[in-house]
Amino acid sequence: MTSAEPAATPPAPPVSLTALLARRDLGLRLLAGPEDVSIHWVHTSEMADPYPYLLGGELLMTAGVQLADPARYVQRVVEAGAAALAFGVTPVYDTVPAELVEACARHGLPLVEVPPRTPFTAVARALWRLMAEARLYELRRVTEAQQSLAAAAARPAPVPAVLGALASRLGGRAVLFGADGTPSVAAGREVTAEATRALRDLAGVLGPRPGGPASASGDGGGLRLAAYALGGGDGLTLGVATERRGPGDHTIAGVAVVLLSLLTAPHRGAEAAVRDGALVRLLLGTAPAEIAETLGAGPWTVVHARGGDGTPFAAASLAAALGTPLVDTGEGGGGTRRADAVQAGGDHGGTRRADAVEAGGGRRDGTPVTVRLLLPASTPVTEQPGWTLGIAAPAPADELAAADAQAARALRRAEAVRAPLVRHRPGGLAALVDPDEAAAHARALLGPLTEPLGETLRTWLSLHGSWDRTAVALDIHRNTVRQRIARCAALLERDLDDPDVRMELWFALTSR
């Protein structure tokens, strides 16, 4: 049993060798070893000793150009942790060497024969396609689980419902443990007494210690076990026991952790309960305008944050620090998001469905994540260690889409100027001009610019013409910034060094 998570995760779910062998167009044939092994990636090498170049878990493909000692070669491949070996017949060998087959059988290393008509690139392409299909399946599974858990949280008995939905989605047992390690609520299929004790012991590893681990995993009673500390500060933990652990299981459990932290938080009055119910309805896709009366006229504050250490519950910890249960975590980097929450409109005002809470999203390799939060405007938002915050101006419930765009811009500026927190500044001279007239002028002036050019020009102007800071804000090379700005000047037929021109363009860009 261990409290540590895997140090690295593959870029996509692994693919079974069985699935690759099932591709009849490739003509692959298993000569030795088992076929029920998982392949994480593919690598081709004609080195006499490929050990230094292998990461482990890969399908190693070779034509045996330097295969002097098959027994030694296989031993080194096994020591490197390769999942399987694929040997290409011709042009070096007419058949797979018998010594190689024998060595692979002895070590239990799957050996696959690649026929002359099948190039290695075709095998690699087939593997990547299978991985893409597996990843798409996993994303759909996570999305459906998010929706199921959010719907369960809105039921009359939400805690048992969430545990039941979690157990059903993961195909196992879900248990809520009290601070003393006593199971309080459980759902899902029954497990052995040994597995129950192991799960309770694993949950005890977390405990209520400040700064302790947020999650732990291990094995017990023939099952895969995981435990997660809830964010209510009262020592509750969630334990999960399953026969297998899929790539998306940790993310699904993270959704349940955020919802259970909300549902079990102590000292919640009737007003807070009503508000949280409205937030859950947001998660289920209700437009803000439809729940404005229940949610309250506001004002509300939308916050965009980027940072964290990439661990599964960094976003949940940030939400707890700011006092809100509603979190949307996007893919780390570039502002790209997997889910839309806290609003029913995108950055440009388009109506979109608000998807489920996703805590524990992003990768577990230290990569920062982008998070969006919704909280009452009366809640003070201060600097948070390890995070960069962009804060929108207070807005009523039916204007959350505009507030979301404000927060996104504030976050971009905060990253560009390397400030821990930037707030949107409304008003100014632009407020004295009729919005419709300003928008018409902006459309006419900026018509020649495509969206990438317009966004680059806006960011460049906001950062006083700094090439480097603009490159950082947009996550592109500084030479790309220079090329785009030069293209803007040519299309607009304006001198961008003229401060009057810059002022007019800035006004148009902010009015567009």
Q: What are the b/e assignments for 135-156, b being 16+ CB within 10 Å?
A: beebeebbbebbbbbbbbbbee
Radius of gyration of the chain measured on its C-alpha atoms: 27
Using an 8 Å Cβ cutoff, are 145 and 60 in contact? no
Strand spans (E) along 355-476: 369-376, 387-391, 421-423
Distance CA 370, CA 357 (A): 13
Distance CA 428, CA 410 (A): 16
- Counted residue by residue, the chain has a size of 512
In the chain, domain spans: 15-129, 155-263, 270-426, 430-511
pLDDT at 112: 97
SS (H, E, C) 206-257: HCCCCCCCCEEEEEECCEEEEEEECCCCCCCEEEEEECCCCCCHHHHHHHHH
Distance CA 142, CA 225 (A): 19
Shared fold status for 15-129 and 430-511: no
Q: Is the dihedral of CA 76, 82, 88, 91 positive or negative?
A: negative
pLDDT at 350: 29
Question: Which among 99, 59, 104 has a CA at the least distance from the CA of 81?
Answer: 59
Distance CA 495, CA 499 (A): 9
Copy the structure tokens of residue 384. Answer: 């948070």
Amino acid letter at 344? A
β-bridge partners, 422: 390
Distance CA 223, CA 425 (A): 54
| CATH architecture of the region 15-129 | 3-Layer(aba) Sandwich (3.40)
β-bridge partners, 111: 32, 85
Q: Is 478 left (phi over 0), alpha (psi -120 to 50) or beta?
A: alpha
Distance CA 218, CA 258 (A): 22
- Unique residue bearing structure tokens 């480097």: 468
DSSP string over 130-155:
HHHHHHHHHHHHHHHHHHHHHHHHTS
| CATH architecture of the region 430-511 | Orthogonal Bundle (1.10)
Distance CA 211, CA 213 (A): 7
- Unique residue bearing structure tokens 């309960």: 273
Q: What is the pLDDT along the chain (512 residues), one digit of tens a residue?
A: 333 333 333 446 788 999 999 999 999 999 999 999 999 889 999 999 999 889 889 999 999 999 999 999 999 999 999 999 999 998 899 999 999 999 999 999 999 999 999 999 999 999 999 988 888 888 888 888 888 888 888 787 888 899 999 999 999 999 998 888 888 888 888 888 898 888 888 888 875 555 557 778 888 888 999 888 887 556 788 999 998 887 788 888 888 888 888 777 654 444 555 555 555 555 555 665 666 666 666 688 888 888 876 554 566 667 766 766 555 555 433 333 333 333 323 333 322 222 333 333 334 445 677 887 878 888 888 888 888 999 998 888 777 778 888 888 889 888 877 889 988 876 656 555 667 777 888 888 888 888 888 889 989 998 888 898 899 888 889 888 999 999 999 898 888 888 888 888 888 887 77
**Segment holding 284, helix H or strand E:** none
Backbone angles phi, psi at 379, to 5 degrees: -75, 120
Distance CA 175, CA 203 (A): 10
Using an 8 Å Cβ cutoff, are 112 and 21 in contact? yes
Backbone angles phi, psi at 363, to 5 degrees: -90, 165
Helix, strand counts (H, E) of the chain: 16, 17
Copy the structure tokens of residue 434. Answer: 């009729």
155-263 belongs to CATH 3.30.450.30 = yes
